Structure 1
Amino acid sequence: MFTTRPEIAGTFGAVGSTHWIASQVAMAVLERGGNAFDAGAAAGFTLQVAEPHLNGPLGDCPIIIHDGKAGVQKVICGQGVAPAGLTVEKVKGDLGLELIPGTGLLPAMVPGAFDAWATMLRDWGTWKLGEVLEFAIGYAERGIHYVPRIAATVETVRPLFERAWPTSAALWLRDGGPRAGKLWANPTLAATYARVVKEAEAAGGDRVAQIDAARRAWYEGFVAEAIDRFCRTTEVLDASGEVHGGVLTGEDMARWRAPVESPLAYNYRGTTVLKCGAWSQGPAMLQTLAILQGFDLAAMDPLGAEFAHHVVEAMKLAFADREAYYGDPDFGEVPMETLLSEAYNAERRKLLGRDASLELRPGALPGHRAWVDHAAAHRAQKLSEVAGVGEPTVSRLGVSGADTCHVDVIDRWGNMVSATPSGGWLQSSPAIPDLGFCLGTRGQMFWLDETLPNGLKPGKRPRTTLSPGMALRDGRPWMAFGTPGGEQQDQWQPIMLLRMLDHGLNIQQAIDAPSFHTEHWPSSFWPRVARPGKVVLEGRYGPAVLEELKARGHKAELGGEWSEGRLSAVRQEPDGQIFAGANPRGMQGYAAGR
């Protein structure tokens, strides 16, 4: 099968990511003796400088790791929680809002990315924080090459910055704003991270003590103080069309640290797939695989209508259960054992017929309320055209490219990292002038009904779309993988994996193959729009596939020729060979290794 580039092969280590600079930084760490955790953290911090329209220091970052020495897998939950002052009563009662807006200060959660990276580095890495941050600080000080999408993003929100977000205008519109292909520095961000390193090193020479000191500086020290002060003294225009302040405080920051959990798992034809818990949409991929387990996908053309139909219909059922049952398990039981069971999915599988369903059909579980937002399909679509709203997707910004970041790493000791940093986008919230970056807006994913699994409560994690992945074979770590894409993350990932497991494609072949997605269920992003039955095929699909899907009742259409998927992956085979691949779309993602 055609590929745009070779699948990278080696035995020393490999990286795949959504940006070539991040991949090279991670490889540089491996070459200098660092392990996968050192390399992943260095790449993650660098992505904050390289792609500020896709992630930031005050964003989110779930991570799945494999500890090669201990032989265990863990999830580091870099998804922060709702502030104590963000309640349904405040948002719905006092402010009169039906949805949490997608931009501004009101939807800001406790920022989770920094502590996720720091926790991984402290507990599994070998480098000091200053060594890891050296790359990001250097790029922020000297400038980093900006791809056209960043300049286009800034131009899209220029009127908002000039009219309503003066701190962002001062940062992003200085000297006319960033230009594609030129270097762009962020000296304020560099100074913030340099101060974090200075406070870390003041704790003495011990590596762990330094990292803990940096965490205190971030969540209890000068970073938290700057966030607290900005939220208390600033009100800004947000996606609701109104002016609101923030409720995030230093106390909210001080109370939170990134928890470490066990991943959820599902065995598909001998391969055990790992995902984050029900505070993410990751289990929807596992449910999709569980439904498809009963079909002979290997007998279907991986680029044919039959394959696409079965995968889309299975995803519709899995994501309907996401809507009905997923939420922070610390705030209520999520019946995941049942949702992943063979008996339950055997019944769900019976709903998958020859024709497309236009309904949102969660399963019925005793003792649980299967609520879904049926109004999403009728919500005013013009709201989704507001600049800077929700995850910065192609359709909303009018630019090509990704909307989150991802990085995968394998080292020579068999350690693995799969991380999906996002949030804190330059267009999501006004810049905090003392820090050089802005807050995230993941709170828009909550429903304003406390009785729902994903209903807003203080201290609760919003159900995120961020969804790194990992897979084992015969109990051994096999592959780390993931993609940006919001709702599409757990659509493009199973498509890639199925083509590898059922059709024998390698990583690069599976990534390059034309893909697809559906927008059938309510989006996780404001204004929570759904488009029942809509399926978008990458433009390289033949017309016969499009017509067959339409004949089955899908509201199918063709997208751009290279528009579906931002995937990367790294894998290790039993003979010790390490392979990697990355997305060619947008000419930005690259794999590296030797």
Structure 2
Amino acid sequence: MTFSPPHAHLTRPDLRGTTGMAAATHWLAAASAQSVLERGGNAFDAAAAGAFVLHVVEPHLNGPGGDLVAVFATAEEPGRPRVLDGQGPAPAGATIEHYRDVEGLDLVPGSGALAAAVPGAVDAWLTLLRDHGTWSLADVLAPAVGYARDGHPVLAAVCRTVAGVADLFAEHWPTSAARWMPDGRLPQPGDLLTDLAYADLLDGLAEAERVALADGGTRSDGIDAARARWADVVGRAVEEFVATPHRHSDGRDHAGVLTAADVAAYEARYEDAVTVEFRGHTVAKSGAWGQGPALLQALTILDGYDDAHLDPATTTGAHTVLEALKLALADRDAWYGDADVPLDVLLSPQYAAARRALVTDVASAEVRPGEVPGRATPSLPPLRTTYATDAPAGSLPGAPAGGSAAGVGEPTVQLAPAVVAGDGLETDASGRTRGDTCHLDVVDRWGNMVSATPSGGWLQSSPTVPGLGFCLGTRLQMTWLDDASPSRLAPGRRPRTTLTPTLVLRDGQPVLACGSPGGDQQDQWQLPFLLRVLVGGYTPQQAIDAPTLHTTSAVGSFWPRTWTPGGAVVEDRLGADVLAGLAERGHVLTLAGDWALGRLTAVTRDPATGVLGAAANSRGEQGYAVGR
């Protein structure tokens, strides 16, 4: 082994079995998914069941008003990885002119309904269930309905999040105050928390399915009836509610632009995955309307090094990984979006070689996108600078301490004291959040495998919509109010999402599904994991438990869109010698603690034996893997 040996003691075992495996960022979601596998459901039934549970038990990390990206392979077509696109587009009224000229904004806000894309997660899960699942919708929804109606013990992280925005709720978002702070009381860890409005909505979807089946419809007809019910109920409630101005993260009140017609027009869709070959494996990601190809670009750059250069536990390896990530993320910020992105060039070995030549022994403190022959390099987004000393450990930086973010036309709300939890979630008093999302991976005995990253619609995103029990997402904050940008705000265009699950194949068979919450860090945390598993010979649990790192020397995808030149956030367990070596090479380090970075989960399958596996992260004391 050319990599440093893994730590001798694991926080969790590498699970092994032959029936089915599920891993998720909340144990109730993993257990719910596994219960479906135990009763004969396939990976798609199980993933959908677990995902609807995540809406209920991790409302600070995802919600029904949010979005979803999944990558999967079926037992029937194992060599054709597919992407489920549950990223809703910008509404018809979301134009640059409206946001700039009418609302007086230079950035899309980080909280409030102006930042809301069309909700895509629920329609995506229903579409996947219709096309690849086997169970009825009513059976799939039963665990989530039970937790929403009868209650579940609320996480300490949810309580911290509500506490962090309590004043905002009390002063400006009364529907959220009523939902999360009834009679002014903050939830306490372990309280049984219900969401009766959402339970009723899910029961309504199951009723729509039942009526369709009673009328002689097929299973697909029943799920499509539920999709139509969802669009009708949610669309009408949202349009009525967002018409009233409410507080946004810029400190002013705005009305949203999302309408019932926007919701009714949305349909989730499938795409073939984008892939590269790396060390005998095929790595599959979403298209460049997400950040997924940035991981593929980093892998292609790193593929030109010998194994000794790829060990993240060494100074050379950690430095090389950070520099490759900076180059890949610079291309993300310059080239990616729901547009004509030249991935054939960006993922080519020739392009990777040119990028690799930029890596020296000194840390870069520049944003350096590459050039594509015959194409003008898009203008970079504005570089609003913050520094590592301003940033909470383990999270992306916000506005510079003591003032507004540099370069923002309208004065921004000064970054209030944040709630920074051991789970990596940071929420400030205006509802701005970084490092948030959830994830689940499922594999079944037949060889179906799915990796999904649901997000958005966090309880702190925007006010709770009456009658629905949840709020809207804020994914439009990842668009730019710049006509020249490939990730510009435009009606019908998807924001360039950070959601980025991963599927790995070997010899045309899926062998690994993995992913992590964490916004801009998702692919950054997956990269050391994949290097350790695919090159270093680590087991998935060994790779998850190993210390990790990420760069903040790239433009943040979340409002207020800042970056830290040369910044690197590292776990202290990398060791004093490695940290000193990185500092000597010019990296501006933020020490995050021993166990602070990464929320990875993974499932595996050995095609030769049918043996399944799973692993989960112990950081945050929340994720779990189950199976047998």
What TM-score comes out, normalization by structure 1 length?
A: 0.96
SS in 2 for 1:154: helix
Within the alignment, does 1:501 sit opposite 2:534 as a pair?
yes
Q: 2:105 aligns with which of 97, 100, 109?
A: 97
Partner of 1:592: 626
Partner of 2:588: 555
Q: 2:252 aligns with which of 238, 242, 250?
A: 242
Within the alignment, does 1:580 sit opposite 2:614 as a pair?
yes
1:299 CA displacement: 5.8
> Are the counterparts in 2 of residues 363 and 370 from structure 1 also a CA contact under 8 Å?
no
Q: 1:274 aligns with which of 256, 276, 284?
A: 284
Q: 2:153 aligns with which of 113, 136, 145?
A: 145
1:375 CA displacement: 2.5
Query: How far apart, CA to CA, are the structure 2 residues paired with 1:116 and 1:73?
Result: 17
Query: How far apart, CA to CA, are the structure 1 residues paired with 2:428 and 2:542?
Result: 29
Within the alignment, does 1:518 sit opposite 2:530 as a pair?
no
Partner of 1:354: 361
Q: Which moves more between the two structures, 371-380 or 70-79? A: 371-380
| Structure 1 residues 250 and 401: CA distance shift in structure 2, 3 A | closer
SS in 1 for 2:113: coil
Query: How far apart, CA to CA, are the structure 1 residues paired with 2:600 and 2:547?
Result: 12
1:433 CA displacement: 1.1
Q: Which runs of 5+ in 2 are unaligned?
A: 1-6, 387-397, 405-413
**Which aligned pairs between 1:540-551 and structure 2 lie closer than 5 A?**
540-551=573-584
Query: How far apart, CA to CA, are the structure 2 residues paired with 1:95 and 1:166?
Result: 23
Query: How far apart, CA to CA, are the structure 2 residues paired with 1:302 and 1:435?
Result: 45
Query: How far apart, CA to CA, are the structure 2 residues paired with 1:368 and 1:400?
Result: 34
> Are the counterparts in 1 of residues 338 and 494 from structure 2 also a CA contact under 8 Å?
yes
1:385 CA displacement: 2.7
* RMSD between superposed Cα atoms in Å: 2.0
Q: 1:528 aligns with which of 535, 539, 561?
A: 561
Q: Which moves more between the two structures, 317-326 or 301-310? A: 301-310
Whichever residue aligns with residue 451 of structure 1, its letter is: A
| 1:208-264: CA deviation from partner (whole Å, max 9, x where unpaired) | 111101111112x122111111122x2101101100011000111111101110010
Partner of 1:18: 25
1:75 CA displacement: 0.6
Within the alignment, does 1:208 sit opposite 2:233 as a pair?
no
Q: 1:457 aligns with which of 490, 506, 525?
A: 490
Partner of 2:342: 335
Query: How far apart, CA to CA, are the structure 1 residues paired with 2:224 and 2:417?
Result: 38
> Are the counterparts in 2 of residues 58 and 113 from structure 1 also a CA contact under 8 Å?
yes
| 1:182-223: CA deviation from partner (whole Å, max 9, x where unpaired) | 21111111111111221222112532111101111112x122
| Structure 1 residues 250 and 388: CA distance shift in structure 2, 3 A | farther
Q: 2:235 aligns with which of 221, 224, 233?
A: 224
**Which aligned pairs between 1:370-449 and structure 2 lie closer than 5 A?**
370-377=378-385, 380-382=399-401, 385-386=415-416, 394-397=425-428, 403-449=436-482
| Structure 1 residues 183 and 412: CA distance shift in structure 2, 3 A | same
Query: How far apart, CA to CA, are the structure 1 residues paired with 2:294 and 2:383?
Result: 22
1:347 CA displacement: 0.5
Whichever residue aligns with residue 276 of structure 2, its letter is: Y
Whichever residue aligns with residue 458 of structure 1, its letter is: P
Partner of 1:259: 269
Within the alignment, does 1:154 sit opposite 2:162 as a pair?
yes
> Are the counterparts in 2 of residues 62 and 78 from structure 1 also a CA contact under 8 Å?
yes
1:370 CA displacement: 3.2
1:42 CA displacement: 0.2
| Structure 1 residues 541 and 493: CA distance shift in structure 2, 3 A | same
Structure 1 segments (4+ residues) deviating >6 Å:
398-402
Within the alignment, does 1:180 sit opposite 2:189 as a pair?
yes
1:546 CA displacement: 1.1
Query: How far apart, CA to CA, are the structure 1 residues paired with 2:435 and 2:309?
Result: 32
* Identity over aligned pairs, percent: 49
> Are the counterparts in 1 of residues 278 and 300 from structure 2 also a CA contact under 8 Å?
yes
1:143 CA displacement: 0.5
Query: How far apart, CA to CA, are the structure 2 residues paired with 1:397 and 1:553?
Result: 30
Q: Which runs of 5+ in 1 are unaligned?
A: none
Whichever residue aligns with residue 385 of structure 1, its letter is: L
Query: How far apart, CA to CA, are the structure 2 residues paired with 1:402 and 1:118?
Result: 27
SS in 1 for 2:503: strand
SS in 1 for 2:544: helix
Partner of 1:296: 306
| 1:150-204: CA deviation from partner (whole Å, max 9, x where unpaired) | 0111111110000000000111101513210221111111111111221222112
1:393 CA displacement: 5.5
1:387 CA displacement: 7.6
What TM-score comes out, normalization by structure 2 length?
A: 0.91
Query: How far apart, CA to CA, are the structure 2 residues paired with 1:367 and 1:303?
Result: 38
Q: Which moves more between the two structures, 296-305 or 565-574? A: 296-305
Q: Which moves more between the two structures, 78-87 or 223-232? A: 223-232
Query: How far apart, CA to CA, are the structure 2 residues paired with 1:461 and 1:339?
Result: 21
Query: How far apart, CA to CA, are the structure 1 residues paired with 2:442 and 2:627?
Result: 10
Query: How far apart, CA to CA, are the structure 1 residues paired with 2:14 and 2:27?
Result: 15
Partner of 2:394: none
Within the alignment, does 1:482 sit opposite 2:512 as a pair?
no
| Structure 1 residues 181 and 380: CA distance shift in structure 2, 3 A | closer
Query: How far apart, CA to CA, are the structure 1 residues paired with 2:204 and 2:311?
Result: 55
1:57 CA displacement: 0.6
Q: Which moves more between the two structures, 374-383 or 464-473? A: 374-383
Partner of 1:75: 83
Partner of 2:410: none
Query: How far apart, CA to CA, are the structure 2 residues paired with 1:223 and 1:96?
Result: 29
| Structure 1 residues 401 and 257: CA distance shift in structure 2, 3 A | closer
**Which aligned pairs between 1:103-122 and structure 2 lie closer than 5 A?**
103-122=111-130
1:300 CA displacement: 5.6
> Are the counterparts in 2 of residues 401 and 585 from structure 1 also a CA contact under 8 Å?
no
SS in 1 for 2:602: strand
Within the alignment, does 1:199 sit opposite 2:211 as a pair?
no
Partner of 1:344: 351
Partner of 1:57: 64
SS in 1 for 2:164: helix
Whichever residue aligns with residue 240 of structure 1, its letter is: D
Whichever residue aligns with residue 519 of structure 1, its letter is: T
| 1:132-152: CA deviation from partner (whole Å, max 9, x where unpaired) | 111111100010111211011
